[in-house]
Amino acid sequence: MNLVKKANEKSILIGEKIKGLMLDKKGEGYVDTGLKILIAVVIGALLLAGLYALFNDTIMPTLVNKVKELFNYKG
């Protein structure tokens, strides 16, 4: 009987917790979530643009020159 009593008490506590969550008025709205997604997309686009510029201006010309020098063997 003790096990049944503990299970009953636990179910009542869980029910009260769920009831409290359902009656809770705070939370995130659609505008907040949309704004977070928009900020993440803009920051991601800026990061990708920066990496693209870095690769095109700095890394790729250096790499092309190194490869040309590597195969420019005049024996």
Residue 2 pLDDT exceeds 60: yes
Q: How confident is the model at residue 73 (pLDDT cuts 50, 70, 90)?
A: confident
The pLDDT score that the predictor gives to residue 28 is 66
State the Cα–Cα distance between residues 10 and 3, nearest whole angstrom. 11
Q: What is the pLDDT of residues 3-52, one digit of tens each?
A: 888 888 888 999 999 888 888 777 667 788 889 999 999 999 999 999 98
Q: How confident is the model at residue 63 (pLDDT cuts 50, 70, 90)?
A: confident
pTM over 0.75: no
**What single-letter DSSP state applies at residue 74?**
-
